[in-house]
Amino acid sequence: MSSFQTGWQQLWSIVGKDLRSELRARHVWVAMALFSALVLVVFYFAFDLRVENRGPVAPGALWIAFVFASVLGLGRTFASEQEHGSMDRLLLCPVDRQVIFLAKLIGNLIFLGVVEVVAVPLFAAIYNLPILGGALVVIVVLGTVGIATMCTIFAAVASTTGAREIMLPLLVFPLLIPVVIGAVRATQSLVVPVVNDPPWPGLLAAFDIIFVTISALVFQYVVED
Amino acid sequence: MQGGTYLVIAYIIMWAGVLAYLGWIALRIRGVRTDLESVRELVREREREASAGQGADQ
Amino acid sequence: MKTLTSHPAAPDEGIALHPQRGGWLQPIRQYGEYVLGGLTALGMMLTIWAAFLYAPTDAVQGDVQRIMYFHVPMAWLAYLSFFIVFVASIVYLLRRDSRWDWAARASAEIGVVFTTLVLISGSIWGKAFWGTWWDGEPRLTTTLVLWFIYVAYLLLRFYGGRTEGSARGAAVLGIIGFVDVPIVHFAVTWWRGLHPDGYVLQGTSSNMPMPAFLALMLALVTFTLLYAFLMLQLYRLERYTTEAQRLRAIVEYGDDGDISAS
């Protein structure tokens, strides 16, 4: 069996383990979905949107909801490992560090995906925007990969301190500004087409590739002990 | 001239910032020096005590 | 008490991290700092003279443009220090020599201080020239994001304490944060489409008269010297702090050892 196949199997066994423990015990995704729905509703009241300003403003609320929910929920990416000491066991296994990172990233992507399946239709309904479709799915996926990558690597970094809950948003928000700009602009262009706009989905994909690559490269230095 | 006022304000803020930072660094270095000196004194004391203790034991 | 005697507390500098003390480097070690400090002070006085008396008043902006003789070099110093954080973080992760970690921490602090001054002087200049304190000018906006990234870096170090795990986490932020800078700049520039603000700063530098150019170059050299001087001081601070902590740990640990031995 090639090392690639081994890595592939290890990847999915870690993902499966995390998903099972999530479904069995933690249910963080319920809190995340509820929280993002709540952010959408709060923004709905905070901005008193009318027909003419709904298009430019509403996508911001959607992405703020995703970023907030991610920081809230994904900060616990490595928490159960650290509490039960199973991080050491995971690191003792002959598993590549990159595989561990990718497994954690995929797990977080699945959580966020579930949250988005709840939040996006709600968003389209309460802001009354007919934007559901293939293009929106592509943009949401591209934006989510960037957010989940940064949250995964910095969840590990923030747990080196005693103040993980407050450090994670402080670390992640400024780094995510390019992703938020790109995702919001791309979503806006679905509502109100903009001429002469840069190709934001392509730029988002480029940001994602850079973030995933560099995070996978440096992850080993955060977890090793 | 209006521009001149802003220039003076910016200049004063920048230099106050740099000088305050230099002063803060100097204070911290002095603080850690005294701290280091006191902990070294403690180390020397311990060493003397230890050698005296050993001498008494022998 | 074996640990104590293996690290003798010498009366003067006494930190056993520079075993190559002496030799031809000795005069540089001893007097280099004073020379550097003196050159920096001299350069600062020359820069003040050049910025206010030597450089001509800008034809378009008037006297406000003279802010640039300090604003631009401070921005250069800030970006230089974040670049040094980036390099030192990489070397630290590869070599695990905590001296590189001290350098990264020291450089990040200098960078944050000067980024703050850059933001203040930049928005004062904006108020004078554009009439608003804050405009979405891409370079200033990028600098603001940069400020948040490296303040978070300092907070991470503060909350993490002086442990190896915290140093590794901070190094990771030092690397990803610096890689993020061009991405942020790119996104912010495109954020408003092709915004015509970018030309303002370039307009002052592209057809700059010779004396103004020389004054700016002098200011850049001077602030680079200032960076080197500040790095020396902060590096020493890190060294002393680590040494004091190590000795304190030895004293406390040795104390326990004594009690258990007797």
Mapped onto helix, strand or coil, the DSSP state of residue B45 is: helix
Which residues in chain C have their CB less than 8 angstroms from residue B12's CB?
A: none
Which residues in chain C have their CB less than 8 angstroms from residue B22's CB?
A: 230
Unique residue bearing structure tokens 């608003």: C132
Which residues in chain A have their CB less than 8 angstroms from residue C151's CB?
A: 170
Confidence of residue A12 (pLDDT cuts 50, 70, 90): confident
- List, in sequence order, the alpha helices (H) in C50-97: 68-95
Mean predicted confidence (pLDDT) in C68-75: 90
Of A92, A90, A42, residue with least CA distance to A65? A42
Facing C149 at nearest CB: one of A175, A198, A203: A175
| Backbone phi, psi, residue C201, to 5° | -70, -35
**Cβ count within 10 A of residue C80:** 17
Query: What pTM was computed for the model?
Result: 0.86
**Cβ count within 10 A of residue C35:** 11
The reply to whether residue C176 touches residue A175, judged by beta carbons under 8 angstroms, is yes
Per-residue pLDDT tens over the stretch C74-121: 999 999 999 999 999 999 999 988 899 999 999 999 999 999 999 998
Mapped onto helix, strand or coil, the DSSP state of residue C137 is: coil
DSSP calls for C30-55 = HHHHHHHHHHHHHHHHHHHHIIIIIS
Given a cut of 70, is residue C205 above it in pLDDT? no
Chains that touch A (3 or more CB pairs under 8 A): C
Per-residue pLDDT tens over the stretch A64-77: 999 999 998 888 77
pLDDT at C15: 42
Of A172, A214, A158, residue with least CA distance to A67? A172
Give me Rg for the CA atoms of chain B: 25
Report the percentage of chain C scoring pLDDT > 70.
81
Per-residue pLDDT tens over the stretch C214-230: 888 899 999 999 999 99
Chain pair B-C, CB pairs under 8 angstroms: 103
User: Which residues sit opposite C58 in a β-bridge?
Assistant: C62
Helix/strand/coil (H/E/C) assignment for every residue in chain A: CCHHHHHHHHHHHHHHHHHHHHHHHHCHHHHHHHHHHHHHHHHHHHHCCCHHHHHHHHHHHHHHHHHHHHHHHHCCCCHHHHHHCHHHHHHHCCCCHHHHHHHHHHHHHHHHHHHHHHHHHHHHHHCCCCCCCHHHHHHHHHHHHHHHHHHHHHHHHHCCCCCHHHHHHHHHHHHHHHHHHHHHHHHHHHHCCCCCCCCHHHHHHHHHHHHHHHHHHHHHHHHCC
Which residue does chain C place closest to A211, by CA atoms?
Answer: C176
Look at the alpha carbons of A16, A19, A22, A23 in this order and tell me if their dihedral is positive or negative: negative
- Helix, strand, coil tally for chain C in percent (to 5): 80, 0, 15
Which residue does chain C place closest to A204, by CA atoms?
Answer: C187
Unique residue bearing structure tokens 């301190």: A161
Give ipTM to 2 decimals: 0.88
- Output A130-137 pairs: Cβ under 8 A, ≥24 positions apart: A131/A187, A131/A190, A131/A191, A133/A190, A135/A190, A136/A187, A136/A190
The reply to whether residue C176 touches residue A214, judged by beta carbons under 8 angstroms, is yes
Chain C (6-25) residues lying within 8 Å, Cβ to Cβ, of chain B? 9, 14
Report yes or no: C230 at the B interface, CB cutoff 8 Å: yes
Which residues in chain B have their CB less than 8 angstroms from residue C248's CB?
A: 39, 42
Please tell me the least confidently modeled range out of A11-15, A32-36, A113-117, C79-83.
Answer: A11-15
Classify residue B17 by its DSSP letter.
H
pLDDT at C262: 33
pLDDT at C67: 84
Per-residue pLDDT tens over the stretch C152-200: 999 999 988 888 888 999 999 999 999 998 898 888 887 765 444 444 4
pLDDT at C207: 63
Mean predicted confidence (pLDDT) in A79-106: 78
Residue C31 Cα, gap to closest chain A Cα (Å) = 39
Of C139, C158, C161, residue with least CA distance to C150? C158
CB A65, CB A130: distance < 8 Å: no
User: Mean pLDDT for chain B?
Assistant: 84
